[in-house]
Amino acid sequence: MRTEFSNSTRCQNIKTLKTEPLDVLVIGGGIVGAGLIRDMALNGDIKVGLIEQGDFACGTSGASSQLIHGGFRYIAKRDIALVKQSRKERETLTHIAPNLVKPIPLAILRYKGDPYPLAGIRLAAQYYNHLSKSDASEKAKLHIDTDKIQSKVGPISTDGLKGCVVLWDSIVDDARLTLATIKDAHLHGGVIANYVAFVEYVSIPNPPETMYRVLAKDCITDECFEICARKIVSTTGPWTDMLWQKDPSYNGKLRLEKKNAKGIHLLLPRCTKVDRTDNYGIVALTQYEKQQNAKQRAIFVLPADDNTSIVGTTETTPEGDPKDVRPSADEVAYLLAEAKRLFPSMSLDQNSIIGTYAGIRPLIANNQTKLIGDSKNFVSREHLITESPSGILYVYGGKLTTHRLIAEETVDYIADFLSVPRTCKTAHCPLPSANSDVIVPDESNQTDNGHGQSIAVDRERLIQRYGYIGYLSIQELVNRDASLAERMTDAHPFLKAEILYAFTGEMAITLDDVLWRRTRIGWTQGQGLDSAEQIVDFISKNNNWNDTRKLEEIERYKQHIEWLNQHL
């Protein structure tokens, strides 16, 4: 099994992309692109490659609210088909990635003056449960005793609190789910490289030609090269219109909507109660809109870890390139004010904010675009799969929850185009990097370095984060070098072996890749700035980084954090 997934893998894959024609090239390494290449790799009979201009999940797919959900709010809009579809996908992801996709109880709070009565919300929540095969423990419940609510969710304001309805969705580290999906595609033969940017379409097939040629750029070496493929698929999220504008058949009509597309999140000290059995999230309606006599919005307060909460999100209009998206001062103040209202005893202020992040939702514009396999002009609320007159496929919209289904629909069409047998396996095959066999015989919680010395490792935590296969790879590193069982820093649980594994088994290239996406140290108090030098010193010994590279990596990461937090 090809468990190595390193910079060496990346370099070899770039050589393959240069020299060997593909059946399909996927452009974009977010969750939809990851799902697409995994589906084709598991299907077989399709030689498929993927390029990503930055790191995997460095855009919207690493900046979501971290929820796998059924879209409870769409029940009020009577879009039952959409809710049922999303609930089914949530079940599927829980099945194939149980160590990453975790059920979470969400307490929907209602205060005096909020719309929708608790009784109605309860009925809707019970119907929500009915739409899927939820476990008996996930039944919706109504609570009106404010002391009991506080005992479950934490120190929320009880002033005007009428009660809450608890329903269940799931929480996930979106970047790790994307990475696990990408890694599975690699294990099944996908040719994958991050930090390779699409530049332009070079040629479009025209008989007797059968291949598309695109120009790509290795962002590490600045080398440009061509990739040949029988089919091109863009899964670039908020960047998709940029590729569409370079399409020879571009008709001047953009397909993405910018209004309400930007969402930001705050990272705060843990607000909700830390409970080893049920870590609650909170859904509450905003008061700012209420004071402005406008329609109230729902915001989430979700556990990131035992010490951190995520508060989000907003719906504003982004400006400029999607890579430049970050929270504004007004957006930060807006969410902070709502958090302060919900948790008055915590004395939250600007100095309480650990960090911020932002993303752009790839919302579909309200124009009429023909869908694959549909004789009518129709635009899906959630996603759009369309083929340009040049024959290039563009996947618009979608979300974390339904990425697997979007990939299945797209590959159905691609397999037919390529005239290859089609069997979708993604709903049943567990992710090897998020293996379903997360409970393994616990003969020992230790490894042996081969010299009779036992080395303690947190086996359960490693399996939960990396899957059983990832855990075995980390254990092998520790077996070779006992020092790798040491914690990287006193402030975080990560072993030195995990930092090394980010490079050898998860294709990390930069310090930012490790701190912001592989470990999420960047989402914790201090955001890794206090330990960056120590971590880079360790990385440099294993990756041959010279002093110049070390300083550049630290400075680049520091600038990223300062840029995101400019308005704090």
Q: State the Cα–Cα distance between residues 64 and 532, nearest whole angstrom.
A: 25
Name the nearest CA neighbour of 309 among 345, 348, 277, 254. 348
Look over the chain and give the mean of its residue pLDDT values, rounded to a whole number.
91
Residue intervals of the chain classified under CATH 1.10.8 are 446-564
- Average pLDDT, stretch 232-248? 97
Q: 567 Cβ partners below 8 Å, 6+ apart?
A: 327, 328, 329, 332, 356
Q: Give the pLDDT mean for 89-96.
A: 95
CATH 3.40.50.300 fits domain 7-61+175-257+364-418: no
Distance CA 176, CA 178 (A): 5
- Those residues whose C-beta lies under 8 Å from the C-beta of residue 250, and which sit 6 or more positions away, are 244, 388
Q: What is the mean pLDDT of residues 471-499?
A: 95
Nearest to 56 by CA among 486, 518, 551, 528: 518
pLDDT at 434: 60
**Predicted local confidence at residue 210, as pLDDT:** 87
48-52 and 191-194 beta bridge pairing: parallel
- Give the residue range(s) of CATH 3.50.50.60 domains in the chain: 7-61+175-257+364-418
Does the pLDDT of residue 134 top 80, yes or no? no
Quick check: 393 and 383 in contact, CB under 8 A?
no
Cα separation values, 513 from 57, 165, 267, 527, 560, Å: 10, 38, 19, 13, 12
Residue 80: its H or E element: helix 80-96
Nearest to 236 by CA among 392, 44, 96, 409: 392
Superfamily holding 89-171+259-360:
D-Amino Acid Oxidase, subunit A, domain 2 (3.30.9.10)
For residue 209, what pLDDT band results from cuts at 50, 70 and 90?
confident
349-406: pLDDT as tens digits = 999 999 999 999 999 987 545 555 443 333 345 789 999 999 999 999 988 999 999 9
CATH number (1.10.8, 3.40.50, 1.25.40, 1.10.3470) of 446-564 reads 1.10.8
Q: Which residues have C-beta within 8 Å of that of residue 164, sequence separation ≥ 6?
A: 107, 108, 109, 110, 118, 142, 143, 149, 153
Provide the pLDDT confidence category of residue 507 given band limits of 50, 70 and 90.
very high
| Residues recorded for the chain | 568
Residue 239 DSSP code: G
Residues 207, 188: Cα–Cα separation, whole Å: 32
Query: Distance (Å, rounded) from C-alpha 403 to C-alpha 140?
Result: 26
Q: How far, rounded to the nearest angstrom, does the alpha carbon of residue 74 sit from its chain's CA centroid?
A: 22
pLDDT tens readout for residues 100-129: 999 999 999 999 999 989 999 999 999 998
More confident residue, 438 or 234: 234
Confidence check: pLDDT of 44 > 90: yes
Q: Assign 133 a pLDDT band (cuts: 50, 70, 90).
A: confident
Q: What is the pLDDT of residue 454?
A: 47
Q: pTM higher than 0.85 for the full model?
A: yes
DSSP label at 555?
Answer: H
Predicted local confidence at residue 565, as pLDDT: 95
Residue 208's pLDDT is 67
Phi then psi for residue 362, to 5 deg, are -85, 70
Q: pLDDT, tens digit, for every residue of 144-201?
A: 999 999 999 999 999 999 999 999 999 999 999 999 999 999 999 999 999 999 999 9
- Per-residue pLDDT, averaged over 13-26, amounts to 98
| Residue closest to 97 by CA, chosen among 493, 465, 520, 402 | 465
Give residues with Cβ within 8 angstroms of 541, minimum separation 6: none
Cα–Cα distance measured from residue 14 to residue 20, given in angstroms and rounded to the nearest whole number: 10
Q: How far apart are CA 190 and CA 397, in angstroms?
A: 24
For 273, 287, 459, 561, 565, the CA distances from 433, given in Å and listed in that order, are 30, 42, 15, 29, 32
**Gyration radius of the chain's alpha carbons:** 24
Question: Do residues 303 and 279 touch, judged by C-beta distance below 8 A?
Answer: yes
What pLDDT band is residue 444 in, cutting at 50, 70 and 90?
very low
pLDDT of residue 435: 53
Among 66-70, 429-433, 448-452, 527-531, which is the least confidently predicted range? 448-452
Domain(s) of CATH 3.30.9.10: residues in the chain: 89-171+259-360
Maximum distance among all alpha carbons in the chain? 74
